[in-house]
Structures are given as C-alpha cells and as structure tokens.
Structure 1
Amino acid sequence: MHFEAKLKRLLNNNSVCLAMLCCIIGYALFKRSYREIGDIFQSVFLLASVAALFVDRKQFAKDKMLWALLFAVVVQVLSWINSLIDIPDLAYSSPHVGVLADLFVFIFVAYWLKGSLNNVYLTWWAMCLGFLLAFYSHSDIVQQVQLGLQGVRIDFNIINAQYPAMYSGVGFLLSSFFLVKYLCLSIRTRKAQYIALFLSALLLFTAFVFVVITTQSRQVWVGLLAAYVISTVLYAILHKEKLNKIILAGSLSLLGFAFYTYASMPLIHDRVQKEMGTATSIVTNGDMSKIPFNSAGTRLHLWYESIKWIKERPLLGSGYNTRETVIKQATHFPPNIHKYFNHLHNSHIELLASYGIIGLVLMYFVFGWVIRSTKFAPEKRGINEVLLISLLFTVYWLTVNLFESFFFSNNGQWIHNVMLGSCYTFYLTYKLNRLSPSEQASS
C-alpha cells in the first residue's frame, strides 16, 4: 500500500503529467513522419498508462470503454474459436487480440490529457502539424506541390493518394474549426494572440484544401460533405437548442465552397465523373461479372465476395485477417488483384467478415459512447466545441472507412486514437476524479 500511494503521488505530480502531455503531443506530431521518435513517445505514455491502470484500477473498473476493450479481446478469441470449428484449414494456430485492442489506445490518450481544453487544443494543433510533417518527411514536398498545381494526382509517397487525402480531411476539419473560432475572437477582442492564431489556422486550412483537391480522393470529398451536413443537424439535436449561428454559417460557407469548387474546377469535376460508367452498369443490369476491375469496380467485387463469408458466419465472423483470405479464395479475381490487394477497402465490411455483427456493433458503440461523453466538456459561449468536433470527425471517419480500411492501418489507428482520446478525456477525467465540468475548464 505504501508503494501504491507513492506511485499514485508520482503519477499525479505536475511534472510527470506535463511530461506525459509532451509524449501525447510528440505521438501526434511524429508517429507518421519520424516514426522512431513517435514510437518512443508512444511507448513512454503507454508504460505510464499501465502504472495508472494499476493505481486507479477501482475507478477504471467502472469505465465503459475499458470494459469495451476487454470485450473486444473476448470477441477476437471467440471469433478465432469459431474459425477453428468452422474453417479449420484456414484458421490461425492462435488468436490475434491486438487488432481491435489497438483501437482502444485512445483511453490512455484521454487519461493523460486530463480533461483540459487547452491540452486538447494543443493536441489538435499537433495533429495538423503532424500531417504536414508526414508530407515533408516522405517526399520532395516542393516537387509534389508543383505536380499538384499541374493537375497531377499526388501522394507524397505515403502508401497511396488515399492516405494523405485522409490526413488532410481531418486537417481540414480541425483547421476550419480553428479558423472560424479565432476569426470570431480576433474580431471581438482584436488581441494579437488571436490574430496570430487565426493566421496560423488560415495557413493550415489553405494547405489542407490544396492537398484534399490535388490528391483527388473522392471518398474524402464525400466524407467532408457528409461531415458538415450530418454533423450540423446532429449537433442541433444533441445540444437540444437552436443551432448556433456561427456553426450554421460556417457549415453553409464550407458547403458553398465545395459546390463552387466542383462547378469551377475541371480536375474535381472530371474525377467525380470518371467512373460514373461503373455505377451506371450496376443500376442497369446488376451483373457483377460485367463490372470492370477499375478503382470503383474492384471495391465492389471485393465487397460482393465478402458478403458470402459474412453470410456463413454472421455473428462472430471468420477470425483474424479474413480480409486476405477472402481475396486469396476468390479464384475468379484477376492475378493483379491477388498480387497487390490484401484488404477489402471497407473497414465496416472487414469488421463484419472478421468479427461478425458483434464486432461491428462493439465499434459503433465506442463511437456513440465517445460522442455521448462530450457533454462533460466545457462550453465556450454556448458552444460545446468538443461535441461539434466529435460529430464532424465521427461522420467523416465512418464515411471514409466505407471505401478504405483505415481501422486496420497504423496510419488510421494513429488518427483514431488521438481524435477519440481528445474527445473522451473530459468524461474520463470527471469519472476518475469526480471533478465538475467547471473545475475541468479552469484546469
């Protein structure tokens, strides 16, 4: 008990908490740019989190997200057992429980942010800068910008264009939030610090708009459009009051910008229209054999093939890495699909195929609970900024994961954990320490 008390005092020491905050910031900044550095920061705060779990185990035992993590481990074990019984020739020799567990690192990000709005702001700024650092560290960024200005689809040498596009979609959401926030504060107070923050946000916003356009990722365009339309409505419903004029004006302005861009930029218009023939083919005859293996068509073939596996084992799925098994077992796929594709380009379908309806519902519960938890975040001038960001991010994130498998990618898990952790921190801090929202706001 004496050791435990000492350990608790150490973990609650202001210097240690500041060091852990620096680790979270370092994780957000460097995880995908200079990974060796980012991994060090991640390892330090995760090790400290193990100690925190030990000393605060009684309080953590009441946290629904920790129970969701434990349930995720159980689901993966049950799914593995299910595959051993049903498809023993394809089953792995042991369960892999880290796949879903990696999506719960946000609990520890939330713990070390300590329910401080300023800490959350710092993390969001770091996330935006981390995206730009990733672009810089992986490529000749000047050359990439020049190619983008010439209408060439760019990717900054980060796997493929979908990934920098996805990064920039999140950066677009965060920088547009800061842009509107500090524009209003600059006009209201005329303080130099707010003007500087507004100009910084404007630079970030401009950079992310450029990358969102030049990476030519339709899924990100759809995700951003869905985020601003759906989140504006959901915010009004969940906040239980008339929609704030600033939020409404910001959303409408961005939507107007999107439609103007579509109408005035041939690059975007042509990209949207490029594979309309695939959609037309589906509507007119519904024959999968006649759908080409182009960008959209390949996704449709992968999803259609996955449905067979989902139907056979709907509750618990077929276990770890079913996504690769689906592709390998599809003998009618052309050789290049077998050679270059190892995932199903849809996180929702991959969850269903691997861990069944139970696994999918579990992850949806996590997103819903994090959104619900933001009612503990302090409000600024009648706006719950964290609720707004949580809605924007969740709608965007679930949308882009309809077309890519970011849930199961290190690149996606990094963003997932930083964003969910920054939204969940207020509830977790309140539950662990029983602080009131007003006390958290002043911390």
Structure 2
Amino acid sequence: MNSIRKISPREAMGALFCLLALAFPFVWFVTDGSVKTINQALLLLFLVFFFERQEIRKNSLVVFCLAFSLLLYLEYLWQYVTVPDHLFGGRPPSNYAYFFSFFLVLSYGTIVWKRIDPFYLLAGAFLGLVFFLVLHDPEKHWLIYLSGERVNFGFRNDQHAGIFFGTAFLCILFFGFRVGRLRSSPLRLMALGGIVSCAALMLFGVVATQTRAVWLGLLGALLTAAVLALMMGGLKPVWIWVRRPIHAIPLLLAAVIAAVLFAALDVPKRVTARLAQEEIGVETIREAARFDERAQLSSSGARIALWRAAPDWIAERPVFGWGVFSAKKLIAADERFTPEFKAQFGHLHNSYIEALVAVGIVGFAGMLAIVGSIGRSVYVAWQEGAMPRDVFLFSWAFLVFWGVVNSFESYINYKTGFYLNSVIFGFIYAFYLQRPAASPRKEAEQATRADKVEAQ
C-alpha cells in the first residue's frame, strides 16, 4: 500500500505563497483594489523565503529594492523634520515602495514552490477585468457611449480605465497567436473567435475612454515592437501563421464584422472629434506657462501650467524632495493658480515630475535604476533563451506604452497604477527568474573554449 507523503511546513508555505501570488491579479478586481490583507500576507511570505533562500538574498535587484524602500523612509523622516507643516503631505512613502518593488513578490511566487507558467498571472488579470466589467453595469456604459460622452467603465475615471484596456489589447495582440498551438481544429477556431472578439472589445474600450495619452502610448508601443521584430528577423513567423486558411478566413471575417460594428458606432468620427477637441498651439502653451486664467482650466493648459510650476518647487528641495502627496499643498499655496484651479487639480498629471517633487533627485534616480534593471533582465532572459520572442517584444512594447501614459497622468499615486506595474512587470521578470542556470548558448561557448584549451 502506497503511503501518502506528508507535506512539510516549508512546502505548505511555498504552496500558499504561489497560490496567493497567482490569485492576486483576480482578487484585486473582485475586491475593487482592496487587497491590503493579501498584500501583507504576500510580503510576509516573501520575507520568510528571503531569509531562508540564498538565491533570493543574492539577487541584486531584490537587495536594491529593499535598500530603495529604506531610502524612501529615511527621506520621509528628513522631510518630516525639515518641510513646513502647511506644505508637507504627511503620508509615508509606502505607495512608492509598493509600486517599485511588489512586482518582485509576484515574480517569486512563480518559482518559490514550483515553476509556474507566468502566463497564469495574465490569465488571472484578464478574468478579473472581465468580471469587473460585467459587475459594473455594462448596459449603463453602453448608453453613456452612445450619448457621445467618455466612459469610465467603473474605474476611477476614463484615464484609469483607458490604461487597462490599452494593456489588455497589447496582451491579446502579442499573445493571441498562441491559440494556433491547439491541436484540435474546432477548439482552435473557437479560441481564435474568442481572441478576436476580446481584442475588438478591448479596442472598443480604448476608443470609448477617449484617452489620447493611451492612443499615443499604443502607437509608440506598436512602432517599437515592429522595429524590434524587423531587427530580429522580420515578421515572417506572424505572416506564416496568418496566411494559413484555418487562421486567415476567421480573422478576415472577424475583421469585416469589427469594421462594420466600428462604423455603426461612429468610432472614426469620435476619434477625430476627440483629437480635435483641444488645439494646442504656441500661443496656448505661452498662455498656460504664464498662468493665464483662460488657459489653466483646459486639459492641456492645466498640465502645462503645472509642469511650468513644478521646476520651481523642485529647485527649492532638489535632493530629497517635499514628500509624498505634497504636490496638492504646493498647488494650494502657489498664488499663480486661481481658486477654481486649486479646487479642481491636486496632483501634477505626470508621474516623473510628481516623483521628482515628492522624493527628489535621489529617490527618482532609484526609480530609474529599478526600471533599467527590469529592461536589462528582459535582455538577459531573451539572450539566454528563457523568454519567448512574443514576450520579449511585448515587454518592450509595454515599457514604451507605460512610459508614455505616465507622462500625462500620475498613475504612480493610484492603486490602478500599482496594479498594472506589479502584475505586468511581475509577469515579465518571472521569465528572468525562471531562466536556466546555463543556457544552450553559454554551454556551447564554454564547450568551444574547452576544446581550444585542450588543443593548445
């Protein structure tokens, strides 16, 4: 009789860590972002394995992120002592610490117990997004769209909704071709139809939210991916996949149906109207930069005015900044802004400027170092054969998309920005963590060197 193997406490903790990490993307949507308990549990489990496993402690990015978090809190203590009370935000920098390090927790959740396919993180996120959209009165949002207004789909606002639709559209665009690997032709056709329908829905969401920064970010992301694909040998694999009749016919049919629906919904007209809604010219920029009351309350004028004022605040405290969420009090205390402006705007609509004001050059440099390290990990994972081509292209496309949209909104301060940053970068970095100790390419190079040594 076979005896049932007992699970050790260590294995149980590893299984729990993995389960919570994979559940996080879905649970976040179910709870509308109220995931404080699961966040704390994940962090506690991560710290347990950090002290237990040497390979985690030796990870330079993990060590740097811990040091960066400590730096933020040391800055907070300095700001608490030196920033005047009426200008100090009074909030600890936990949102920045989470934003720039929690992706590591999700990444390690895919390897601490067993090697779990990182795509499960994206699958949970997509199911959560669909659940969220169904939960928040989809009929109402359709009616709002048909009335010609911008739609937020239950998110904080249309801009925050737009980044989710844009990210989901990129995921489907880059990874939808994987359905071609299904062996059963009927299943493959059904999956292909589902993928095309989901892509059309996400694209509709991108249009309905009418967020121009998302449109610009997607354009930059797709151009970046196209250039990289050409540098890596062209788009031949995609063309081979598409030209097969079993793929081409459903795709063509879906494209025709989507075009008819988009025309019926006046999508081209709405996009054109949104792009022409605000004319940004030299005179508009000058008026906003001079804090002219007429230009301040427009979308572009408000951003220009805020970005013009921010360098003055940064120059006063360039090294360690004013503190997290101090921007609102700085705006309120600045006499160049009207009372109406102060009542309407409380942040800088740019994550990079917001970070410079909040944590200064030192903290901002740490943020750039973390992003640069993620970019390096993408390259290393690709070079060592641990990251598929589509994930490699998606990684750089998302970096560009995320970089663009954060130039026009302070997503760094909100739970929506934290979620996307954690899940997508957690997905990307998991491939780096799961790479083999020695890649075939490295093994071949080492074998060549050994042969040369023997020959000598």
Report how far residue 279 of structure 1 moved: 5.8
Tell me the residue number matched to 2:454: none
Matches of 2:89 and 2:288, distance apart in 1: 43
Compared CA separation, residues 96 and 287, structure 1 to 2 (3 A): closer
Matches of 2:119 and 2:129, distance apart in 1: 16
Tell me the residue number matched to 1:266: 269
> Higher mean Cα deviation, 22-31 or 100-109?
22-31
Matches of 2:268 and 2:82, distance apart in 1: 52
- The number of residues matched between the two structures is 411
Alignment of 1:205-224 (within 5 A): 205-224=199-218
Tell me the residue number matched to 1:152: 149
Counterpart among 381, 397, 406 of residue 392 in structure 1: 397
Tell me the residue number matched to 1:4: none
Q: Secondary structure at the match of 1:134?
A: helix
Tell me the residue number matched to 1:415: 420
Compared CA separation, residues 27 and 332, structure 1 to 2 (3 A): same
Matches of 2:89 and 2:267, distance apart in 1: 56
Tell me the residue number matched to 1:276: 279
Counterpart among 27, 31, 47 of residue 30 in structure 1: 27
Q: What are structure 1's unaligned runs of at least 5 residues?
A: 1-7, 439-443
Opposite residue 368 of structure 2, the aligned amino acid is Y
1:136 aligns with 2:134: yes
Q: What are structure 2's unaligned runs of at least 5 residues?
A: 1-6, 242-250, 257-261, 441-456
Compared CA separation, residues 384 and 52, structure 1 to 2 (3 A): same
Counterpart among 340, 351, 358 of residue 336 in structure 1: 340
Tell me the residue number matched to 1:228: 222
Alignment of 1:247-258 (within 5 A): none
Report how far residue 136 of structure 1 moved: 2.9
TM-score (norm 1): 0.81
Compared CA separation, residues 78 and 299, structure 1 to 2 (3 A): same
Compared CA separation, residues 362 and 197, structure 1 to 2 (3 A): farther
Q: Secondary structure at the match of 1:291?
A: helix
Determine what percentage of the aligned residue pairs are the same residue: 22
Compared CA separation, residues 152 and 36, structure 1 to 2 (3 A): closer
Matches of 1:369 and 1:231, distance apart in 2: 20
> Higher mean Cα deviation, 39-48 or 310-319?
39-48
Query: Does the Cα contact within 8 Å between 2:217 and 2:401 map onto a contact in 1?
Result: yes
Report how far residue 233 of structure 1 moved: 2.9
Q: List per-residue Cα deviations over 1:150-174 (Å, max 9, x = no partner).
A: 4321112322111111110111111
Compared CA separation, residues 95 and 292, structure 1 to 2 (3 A): closer
1:177 aligns with 2:167: no
Opposite residue 274 of structure 2, the aligned amino acid is R
Query: Does the Cα contact within 8 Å between 2:351 and 2:412 map onto a contact in 1?
Result: yes
Report how far residue 47 of structure 1 moved: 2.9
Report how far residue 346 of structure 1 moved: 0.7
Query: Does the Cα contact within 8 Å between 2:207 and 2:271 map onto a contact in 1?
Result: yes
Q: List per-residue Cα deviations over 1:39-94 (Å, max 9, x = no partner).
A: 554444333222212211x3223222222223323432453355456534446598
Opposite residue 390 of structure 2, the aligned amino acid is E
Opposite residue 342 of structure 1, the aligned amino acid is G
Query: Does the Cα contact within 8 Å between 1:322 and 1:350 map onto a contact in 2?
Result: no
Counterpart among 352, 356, 363 of residue 348 in structure 1: 352
Tell me the residue number matched to 1:3: none
TM-score (norm 2): 0.79
Matches of 1:9 and 1:235, distance apart in 2: 46
Tell me the residue number matched to 1:295: 299
Report how far residue 22 of structure 1 moved: 3.3
Q: List per-residue Cα deviations over 1:164-194 (Å, max 9, x = no partner).
A: 1111011111111222333x546xx564444
Query: Does the Cα contact within 8 Å between 2:288 and 2:302 map onto a contact in 1?
Result: no
Report how far residue 117 of structure 1 moved: 8.5
- RMSD after superposition: 3.5
Query: Does the Cα contact within 8 Å between 1:80 and 1:319 map onto a contact in 2?
Result: yes
Opposite residue 134 of structure 1, the aligned amino acid is F
Tell me the residue number matched to 2:377: 373
Tell me the residue number matched to 1:59: 55
Matches of 1:337 and 1:248, distance apart in 2: 52
Report how far residue 31 of structure 1 moved: 0.6
